[in-house]
Amino acid sequence: MNNLERLNTILLVDDDDASNFLHSIFINKLDMDVNINSALNGQEAIDFILGKGQEQLELPCMVMLDLRMPVMDGWQFMNAYEELVPKKLKEQITIVLVTISDNKEDKERAVNNKYIADFAQKPLSDETFKALIQKHYSLAAI
């Protein structure tokens, strides 16, 4: 648990624009003052976290990471994250693996990865986001 006073920024990482849009609606339904950004693959997400090719945006507190994506999938993202992201930044980010797959190997691999804080099954809802945020952040009330 990050025990942050507030969750400031969420990065949605999914190659499906519709999923990113729907998930941003669910997060907005929680009526939190949070910035929502999206990336269409793991490479865009790594670049976002490292601030490459953009104005320096706020570091995401939470990354909602899909597994199955082109260019760089969720597992490739996790490998790059481990190698490229400085420890200081990793300490500020909660990663939640989000997948439609019910593959037991994926869930076991996620549970055994020290950088993945949680695992969520698609489709997500506002209640799913609320539960994840309350679990990983000490927010007064959502």
Q: Are 77 and 42 in contact (CB under 8 A)?
A: yes
C-alpha span between 105 and 50 (Å, rounded) = 29
What six digits make up the tokens of 136?
A: 């990983």
Q: What is the distance between the alpha carbons of residues 140 and 31, in angstroms, rounded to a whole number?
A: 13
Question: Is the residue at 131 inside a domain?
Answer: no
pLDDT confidence of residue 20: 92
**Per-residue pLDDT, 87:** 93
Which residues face 37 on adjacent strands?
11
Does residue 31 form part of some domain? no
Supply the pLDDT for residue 141: 47
Is 63 contained in some domain?
yes
Q: Which range marks the domain in which residue 89 is found?
A: 12-25+37-50+57-121
Write the CATH number for 67: 3.40.50.2300
Which residue do the tokens 């489709």 mark?
A: 123
- Closest by CA to 103, choosing from 73, 136, 132, is 73
Per-residue pLDDT in tens (0 to 9) along the chain, 142 residues: 444 456 789 999 999 999 999 999 989 888 888 899 999 999 999 999 998 756 656 889 999 999 989 999 999 999 999 999 999 999 999 999 998 877 888 888 888 999 999 988 888 888 888 889 888 886 544 5
